[in-house]
Structure 1
Amino acid sequence: MKQRVLPWAKLSVCLLLLLFFTPAAQPRLTPPWPQPHLSAFDHPGVAIQGSPEAMIVAAIDAVREGRMADARATIDALLAKAPNYRLAHLVSADLYAMRAAPLADLGGGVASAPQDRLDDLKREAQVRLLRHTAPPPVGHLPAQLLALSPAQRHAVLVDTGSARAYLFENDKGVPRYVTDYYVTIGKLGIDKLKEGDQRTPLGVYFVTGHMPRLQLDRIYGEAAELYGVGAWPISYPNELDRREGRTGHGIWLHGVPYDTYARAPQASNGCVALTNEDMAALARWLQPGTTPVVNVTQVDWLPPHAWRQRREAALARIEAWRAAAETAEPARLQAFYGSQFSTEESRPARGGTVRPQAIALENISLFATAGERPQWVATFDQQSRSERTQIRQRKRVYWQQEGTDWKILWEGRARAG
């Protein structure tokens, strides 16, 4: 009898967990989660070691495969390492409850808990498991990071759709993957429009500073607990946000309260929050005033040859614009500017007189966004030299796709990056 029941129990648990951990708008586990045979818990288990995320995923995998003793041992070791990890406590409670009765859903072992908190933990489990079942393709490059300037030693790419922040190092202008982290974004999602809307902005930003915990304590008192190990402000609103009338401030990378290991995937007021351990690790690579933080809905991973083609096409368009600006021929130059173009600089009117000048662009960085309005954000040192003057400035140009062409949407001084 024992040999006939155990395989069916393993199969049932595996199937139901697979159904549950498939991303869905309302995560639920149906039909009821059956009770595995008690012998699955009785023999000594083997604890999988690693990071807390690796261990929670290993525990879930163990349950999928009917290795309840291994799941129990791994969860116990995880809680010894991270005693404030709420998702681990949830799985632990379920493992104990499954010895006595079937569970209708993940979290059934703590049925008295508020449903919204249980749903938050389920969503966290989903995105963490998804990262390990569908990792980024090996050797591919992100289409959003097309060029890093020599000063930008690293870049951060936030995939808001999968709740991950990817860290890349600068390999002669090419982004090379280093690691990635689970993150929390705004309670109401993405695409910040106004102050207090609890959304995380999309676009290209730069780390502008560092606020250590002691500084946060002096400024915010007890409220500083929300930021854990500290905060790293980013440059929201950027130049394009201001042009479009987007408001708000205080969008940061920061840690989490010390009484919890991690927050839910959507739980911040618009910031990007990491576990304190991960925030401290990421902070080692952040350069205030320089490091880009690019927030997107989804990372577009490209094979190297396709990435190079996209990069070269974008840089060629920028070079054509530079050459046109150098000639100062109005008709030729105006062809690069879109119908919605604006600038903070003083520019001659159409048909006005512009003297030819030598223009050089150095230390270029180039980032891209997608969605309904694909854009490039190019930043560079521009040196303009004529017979009478020589001007050098750090400049930023926003490009937007109009039909099959890329046109300049905004042009002006770069405040960061």
Structure 2
Amino acid sequence: MTTAVAAGPAVRADIQISGRYLRDGTSVHLVRDPADGKTFEIGVKEHFVLVRLDGVTSREEIVAAYGRQFGRSLGPAAWQQLLGLLAARGLIKGCPVPAADPPPAAARRKLLGGSLRLVSDATATTASLHRLFGFTFRGWFLVPALAAILLMLAGVVWHGPALVADTARVLDNPFALMAVATALWVTMGLHELGHGVVAHHFGGTVGEIGIRWQLPMVVMYCRIDDYLFLRTRRQQVTTASAGILVNLLLLLPVLPAWLLLPEREPARALLGGFMVLGLAQAALFLLPLPPMDGYKMLAHSLGMLRYASGSRRFVGRALAALAGRGPGLAGYHRAARIAYSGYALGSAALVVSIVTIVALVAERVATAHFGPVAGAISAGLAVLIGMFFVVPRTSFTGTRKPADGRRGEVQK
């Protein structure tokens, strides 16, 4: 029987420990100290011990359970080494917490790139939004809303030719295009807030809401500090999909309004263009490529950590093994090999398809307006731009920053 004297040490109550992830064929868990925001990885065996350091379970009980689970003893030296590491990080209750790193110098805001925080307390802002829109999490709202979205998509397909014609008129009118683009930009901001509100609903913490720009792109962002520590994969996938759902909900009143307006009404073309381009925007977010929401939904549903960069390293090691170099794929179990090779092949095919379609469209448009030479140049530029976004993100060694996401956000 465990007694107060025999009880082992305890991990601080505020320490966050994630579920299991797969990274490069290895199962890992994440540990986060909210005091300084630092996150590090531990293996399955370290996690087994860590979650049992509750201040009640004795060392003998933990060692016995460890032996039953892994078929080997946790010796005194390994025990002391693990406790020493945890204590040095300030994770053990009663141990001094290491001094936090000095806050980084404020990032210089340049004309071409930078960021700006919009609210002083992102957590309070998100909590207020959650109170205001908390009804959207109820079944009586979600079920009819999803049915309405399906009906809207069916209506768009039915009226597709007329909507496409209105969209073409918008694209030919710079002022109309600017108006629709501005409305779409606003929906992108609401998209980001949707991520934050849903994360808050599941117990996540929104650390910052602001605007980031890398001219000519200016976007809103919502940084969720502990997104990867949400309790279940379902909560993570739901949080990742929240922005797309917000985009579709915002489009619901557009189709009825478009149908009610006369065909020659200028506002009808604006609504038609907004509908088609808004759906295109939602479809773009669904792409299973980083940093899109579809990629995050796929990665979290499979429990993968840095899925895209891990797939590239997997391919790199496979190619190196064919050439007789490197350790090969010995560290990858069968499920990991299927997951990584499947994503590598699928994402490559998707990228090639997208670049090809964009190049063909650019060539046709430019040829129609300026001739075949301009068409060829436009197609070449489209391919080069596609390579610019893909090739710099490719890394077989892991030495470059992966494209899977920025720290602290919805892997975004």
For Structure 1 versus Structure 2, the TM-score category normalised by the shorter chain is: under 0.3
Q: Which has the higher helix share?
A: 2
More strand as a share of residues: 1
What TM-score, normalized to structure 2? 0.24
